[in-house]
Every structure is written in structure tokens, then in C-alpha cells.
Amino acid sequence: MYLGLYAAELVGTLIEEHDAHPVLFDRLQQTLKDLPTPRVEEAFLAFELDLLRETGYLAELSACVSCGATIGDRDATAYFSPAQSGVVCRACEGVVHDRMQLDVRLLRIVHSIMKLPRTNGTAQRLPRLTRHQTDPINRMFADHVQHTLGRRLRLPRYVLGRSS
């Protein structure tokens, strides 16, 4: 239930009242139907990525926002900075004070979901995910949205098990 409320909060926060996004509202409706299924984690993450991308709030997730270096396969750890709106490489993390450590494998999951083919706006062939994988990603996006908008979201603390 909280995940559905959180999805609605994100939509209500990121989409202006007269800003038509019919595809996103259709995606929200489909995501709400998917929440009580075993595919809840991947369905919500795919929706969240689509929402952030469509509204222009998706952070930079491929290259370091400080130096431009590609976050690649040889890296085991990257960092995310809500203030910088993106990932930060290991070489630059020392000068970024609001960084949070992030396993690069999680970034690869995000990239793979963003590249999946779509049918009626819905990502197809989503990988099977667990909360262990999605909670850090959802936390990263919640912190990013809160910093970008300059206001706290109400539901992340219920969905992510900690105050965001």
C-alpha cells in the first residue's frame, strides 16, 4: 500500500497540474496493478525511472558529474550526490560532501532497465529484483528528488524503512 501511495506522491510532486502526461498516468495505473504481484520491485523501479526520465528529473547515472569519467565495469563502487544530480567517481568523491556510496552493479541494473524494449510504454523483460537491490536505488532517487525540489517527500521513510 505504501509503495502505491509513494508512486502517487511522486506523480503529484513531479507533474504540474496542467502538464499532460497521459502515458505516465497509464503507467501509474499499470504499476498499481503490478504492486500486489511478485514482480513488485522491478515494476516500481521501472515506473520510477520512466517518471523521472519523462519529467526531466532523471539524474546523470553514466558519467561522473565532477570530471566526466565514465563509471565503468572496472569500478566496484561509485557515489551518488543529490546536490550534483548524479554519480561521482572514486577519484572525485573526496570533494563531494553529500555523497552516498553505491554499488556499481546497481547502476548497471538501472541502465539495463532503461534500455529494455517498451510495449505501450511498459518495459518488457524486466529482470527479477529484490528489495536488497531496489531499496538503495529508490533511496538514491528519493534523495535526489527531495534535493532538486527543495522539499521532503512524505512516503520514502515508510517505503525504504528509514527517514529519507
Residue 47: inside a domain? yes
Cα first-last separation, the chain: 18
Residue 164: inside a domain? no
Q: Provide mean pLDDT across the span 86-107.
A: 93
Amino acid at 74: R
Question: Would you say residue 163 has pLDDT above 50?
Answer: no
Question: Would you say residue 77 has pLDDT above 50?
Answer: yes
Q: Which domain holds residue 140?
A: 2-159
Residue 115: inside a domain? yes
Compute the distance between CA of residue 26 and CA of residue 32 in angstroms, rounded to an integer: 10
> What are the backbone angles phi and psi of residue 22, rounded to the nearest 5°?
-60, -35
Burial of 60 (0-12, 13-18, 19+ CB in 10 A): middle
Question: Would you say residue 161 has pLDDT above 80?
Answer: no
Give me the residues paired with residue 101 across strands. 79
Residue 29: inside a domain? yes
Q: Provide mean pLDDT across the span 60-84.
A: 90
What CATH code is carried by the domain that includes residue 111? 1.20.1440.120
Question: Would you say residue 97 has pLDDT above 70?
Answer: yes
Q: What is the pTM of this model?
A: 0.90
How many domains does the structure of the chain reveal?
1
Compute the distance between CA of residue 25 and CA of residue 80 in angstroms, rounded to an integer: 28
